[in-house]
């Protein structure tokens, strides 16, 4: 079974609007971490935001917030006020602490921001 | 400047010719990891290391070797590369296994 599922291969959003990128995960661990990374067309991987499985509040970092719904095993990324520079691939990832800190990535969502 | 470096950035080689991709970090991180990125599959973990002399298999370790003799270096070795190892490879490091990872710039490998 896939550990991380991102069901939106590609998305469009109008500049200045908010967008939600979906991510669901599969783990039996009690302790895990969830991450989002951005990969622009230049290829580098940029860390955006982190949510721990025991964190009760949703994580926020500037325009990025993580909508963490533990019972549903979802960790959606919300980008507010989209900018042209947000056009990139976005990857959801999970670290299983109880499983020797192995990391799993989803297949990614390509976001295009339209002017 | 805090960074993860990889060399080479681009490599074209032939089947069976042993190669090494180097990875080095200057942040005194304990955790280091190698990934390969293929279209439609995202990143898949090859090997990781929790600390010096401690390495373990990720999801796709077949055909790869690693070593961690020093904290800052974590080379990826392909003893006998095959065309199905053509991919984009990333090295990453983090302070410990529970922190966010910082990625190198990537190495694009083509095996013919």
pLDDT tens track for B27-57? 999 999 999 999 888 999 999 999 999 999 9
Task: Test A43 with B98 for CB contact under 8 angstroms.
Answer: no
Residue ranges of B 66-85 with Cβ closer than 8 A to chain A: none
B30/chain A closest Cα distance in angstroms: 12
Cis ω for the linkage preceding B8 (within 30 of 0):
yes
Q: How confident is the model at residue A97 (pLDDT cuts 50, 70, 90)?
A: confident
Instruction: Name the β-bridge partners of A111.
Output: A11, A88
Cα torsion through A71, A77, A104, A85, rounded to 10: 180
Task: Summarize pLDDT for A19-74 with one digit per residue, the tens.
Answer: 999 999 999 989 899 999 999 999 999 999 999 999 989 999 999 999 999 999 99
Residue A100 burial (CB count, 10 A):
13
- Confidence at residue B1, expressed as pLDDT on a 0 to 100 scale: 82
Is the pLDDT at A1 greater than 80? The verdict is: no
* φ/ψ (deg, to 5) at B15: -55, 130
Cβ neighbours of residue B103 closer than 8 Å, sequence gap 6 or more:
A37, A44, A45, B4, B90, B91, B92
Give which of B46, B95, B98, B105 to mutate to test A binding, by max A Cβ within 10 Å: B98
Give which of A21, A45, A66, A106 to mutate to test B binding, by max B Cβ within 10 Å: A45
């Amino acid at each position: 079974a896939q550990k991380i599922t991102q069901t939106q291969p590609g998305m469009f959003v109008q500049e200045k609007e908010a967008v939600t990128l979906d991510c669901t995960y599969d783990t039996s661990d009690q302790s895990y971490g969830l991450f989002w990374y951005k990969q622009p067309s230049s290829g580098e991987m940029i860390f955006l935001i982190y949510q721990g499985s025991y964190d009760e509040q949703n994580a926020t970092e500037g325009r990025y917030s993580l909508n963490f719904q533990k019972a549903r095993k979802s960790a959606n990324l919300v980008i507010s006020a989209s900018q042209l520079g947000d056009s990139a691939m976005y990857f959801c990832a999970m670290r299983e602490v109880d499983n020797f800190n192995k990391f799993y990535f989803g297949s990614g969502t390509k976001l295009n921001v339209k002017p | 400047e805090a960074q993860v470096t990889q060399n080479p950035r681009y490599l074209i080689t032939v089947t069976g010719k042993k190669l090494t991709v180097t990875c080095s970090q200057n942040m005194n991180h304990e955790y280091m990891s190698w990934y390969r990125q293929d279209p439609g599959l995202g990143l898949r973990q090859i090997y990781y290391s929790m600390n010096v002399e401690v390495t373990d298999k990720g999801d796709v370790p077949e055909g790869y070797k690693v070593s961690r003799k020093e904290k800052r270096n974590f080379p990826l070795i392909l003893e006998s590369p095959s065309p199905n190892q053509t991919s984009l490879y990333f090295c990453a490091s983090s302070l410990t296994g529970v922190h966010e990872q910082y990625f190198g710039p990537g190495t694009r490998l083509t095996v013919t």
